[in-house]
Amino acid sequence: MVSWNRTVPDVGRRRGSGLAALMLAAALALGGAGTATAEQGPDSVADLAEKLIGAVVNISTTQTVAETRQVPLPQVPEGSPFQDFFDEFFDKNGNGKGGDPGDGADNGDGGSDEGGDPRKVQSLGSGFVIDGAGIIITNNHVIEDADEIVANFSDGSKLKAELVGRDAKTDLAVLRVKPDKPLTAVKFGDSENMRVGDWVMAIGNPFGLGGTVTTGIISARNRDINSGPYDNYIQTDAAINRGNSGGPLFNEKGEVIGINTAIISPSGGSIGIGFAIPSEIAVGVVDQLREFGETHRGWLGVNIQEVTDDLAESLGIDRPQGALVAGVTEGGPAAAAKLEPGDVIVAFDGHAIKTMRELPRLVANTAVGKEVSVTLIRKGKELTLPVKLGRLEEGEKMAEATGDEPAAEQPKDEPKVLGLTLGALDDDAREKYRLNAEVRGVVITGVDPASAAAEKGIAAGDLIVEVAQEQVLSPDDVTKTVEKQKTMGRKSVLLLVSNASGDLRFVAVRME
């Protein structure tokens, strides 16, 4: 346990200092005791680092690349005084002769080049041992597509590693080595109770410099950096650089509360903004990879989107909350439970859903086959439905399947409403806009660029599937439903719009 101390400076003792003492007391009373305190940094972390560094490993990988990247040979006139210069630095194939190939120390990206076609590319990252029998955790992007993986330990020993399992969605991978004796191991801690401002320590392999220790604090939590569906990163200012990927982020007890995985850096070096996968996400994924070699995530079978202010008004709910169901996968758990597009999920398995991004993590972390309660708002009324979760990995295969059912013939009229020109979804429209055979609705053939619909990104070739949560199959259906919403005093109307591929989204369009 590392302690962080605060000390009060010695103000000294002098004869006849009663007045001075009185003045000091008054100053403290007026200005606050903080004016007489000095905050020091933490005690040395040397003991903690020494205890943990043996569990942190450097991960080196080798990958065979099919083609060699060549530098174009500059074209110079024969006999030019520059010809000897270029001949000195380029061979006849245009490959550079000079320069240092580099040590490949990065976040699992490309590194050194052995030349030839095919060629070998090396890269370096970090990892840590969680089981003395030889289980190592790292990032998926550190070992992805590697032909050979080697774990380099702090005592100079090296062991070849085999891949147990990996998960691209959380960027985690589990490796196994076969040591002659038990390895130094660390354990996961509780990231959920870590607070902004708590001290943390990172150990890793930045730029190939193994065994590097840095300290800092947790700068923020629950960061979404748009790297995957389950983003919930810990942000830290502990120095993390290329090559730190896969290394541990420790709390003061020496427990792993994060796996360092990404940085924001215009220059390629640390600027004090690094991100770590929290242990609360990593533990479940690691356990599944160790047991099955792959993940077994819960699956609800819905496409969702954020509930914005205008969508909330169109849906008739008092404030933006929950996750709006934009589509329901046919044959999935939600379809079996009778969830519908336009439902707003506000609670899942007893957990309130405040924002859309909370739902995927909760569903994924729930056991496959478990029956959960889903609370939703449907057309202004709240109801709760039981749903038996499926397995995400199987659901993804199901979602890839497409049907060939032909569309019903619709009359060819093209009225205009909301700045949109509407057309029938016939064979000509499907061919013109390259629409999937399974999509249904009313095709948009034109959009007024000055309209509110254009501001929301609606374009020609999109389809209107629903208006105000009512299915529409003809342009006349659209115009009648829009007029009905106007007579009800609505300021905007809710459209369920599909693109050519069948991806659905809700859009609230102002009725001007």
Most confident of 132-141, 221-230, 267-276, 401-410: 132-141
Give me the count of residues in the chain. Answer: 512
Please, is 55 exposed, middle or buried when counting C-beta atoms within 10 Å of its C-beta (0-12, 13-18, 19+)? buried
Instruction: Indicate whether 7 pLDDT > 80.
Output: no
Instruction: Indicate whether 468 pLDDT > 90.
Output: no
State the Cα–Cα distance between residues 480 and 420, nearest whole angstrom: 14
Q: Please indicate whether residue 171 is annotated as part of the active site.
A: yes
Instruction: Indicate whether 6 pLDDT > 50.
Output: no
Q: What is the model's pLDDT at position 491?
A: 82
State the Cα–Cα distance between residues 271 and 268, nearest whole angstrom: 9
State the Cα–Cα distance between residues 123 and 61, nearest whole angstrom: 5
Neighbours of 153 (CB within 10 A): 21
The pLDDT tens digits of the residues spanning 178-236 come to: 999 999 999 999 999 999 999 999 999 998 888 899 999 999 998 988 777 888 899 99
Instruction: Indicate whether 459 pLDDT > 90.
Output: no
Q: What angle do CA 490, 491, 497 make, to 5 degrees?
A: 90
| pTM reported for the whole predicted model | 0.64
Residues 365-384 have a mean pLDDT of 92
Q: What is the model's pLDDT at position 489?
A: 78
Q: What is the model's pLDDT at position 436?
A: 72
Coil, strand, or helix at residue 46? Answer: helix
Instruction: Indicate whether 127 pLDDT > 90.
Output: yes
Residue 113 has which token pair?
């080049």
The pLDDT tens digits of the residues spanning 26-72 come to: 333 334 444 444 455 567 889 999 999 999 999 999 887 665 455 45
Neighbours of 241 (CB within 10 A): 24
Residues 339-344 have a mean pLDDT of 91
Instruction: Indicate whether 150 pLDDT > 70.
Output: yes
Residues 341-352 have a mean pLDDT of 92
Residues 334-347 have a mean pLDDT of 93
Question: Is residue 301 within 8 Å of 329, Cβ to Cβ?
Answer: yes
Q: What is the model's pLDDT at position 453?
A: 84
Find the range with the poorest average confidence among 93-102, 236-245, 391-400. 93-102
The residue among 443, 477, 483 whose CA lies nearest residue 459 is 443
Q: What is the model's pLDDT at position 190?
A: 95
Q: How confident is the model at residue 4 (pLDDT cuts 50, 70, 90)?
A: very low
Instruction: Indicate whether 18 pLDDT > 50.
Output: no
* Rounded percentage of the chain residues whose pLDDT exceeds 90: 41
Instruction: Indicate whether 309 pLDDT > 70.
Output: yes
Q: Which residue has the higher pLDDT, 460 or 337?
A: 337
Instruction: Indicate whether 102 pLDDT > 60.
Output: no
Neighbours of 284 (CB within 10 A): 16
Catalytic option among 126, 141, 310, 343: 141
Residues 425-454 have a mean pLDDT of 80
Question: Is residue 142 within 8 Å of 173, Cβ to Cβ?
Answer: yes
Q: Please indicate whether residue 296 is annotated as part of the active site.
A: no
Instruction: Indicate whether 397 pLDDT > 70.
Output: yes
Q: How confident is the model at residue 435 (pLDDT cuts 50, 70, 90)?
A: confident
**Cα 236 to chain center, whole Å?**
16
Q: What is the model's pLDDT at position 488?
A: 80
Residues 135-144 have a mean pLDDT of 95
Q: What is the model's pLDDT at position 275?
A: 95
Residues 257-284 have a mean pLDDT of 90
Q: Please indicate whether residue 245 is annotated as part of the active site.
A: yes
Structural domains in the chain, CATH included, are 54-176 (2.40.10.10), 199-292 (2.40.10.10), 298-400 (2.30.42.10), 416-510 (2.30.42.10)
State the Cα–Cα distance between residues 24 and 9, nearest whole angstrom: 13
Name the average pLDDT for the chain. Answer: 79
Q: How confident is the model at residue 419 (pLDDT cuts 50, 70, 90)?
A: confident
Catalytic option among 245, 279, 314, 474: 245
Catalytic option among 113, 167, 171, 231: 171
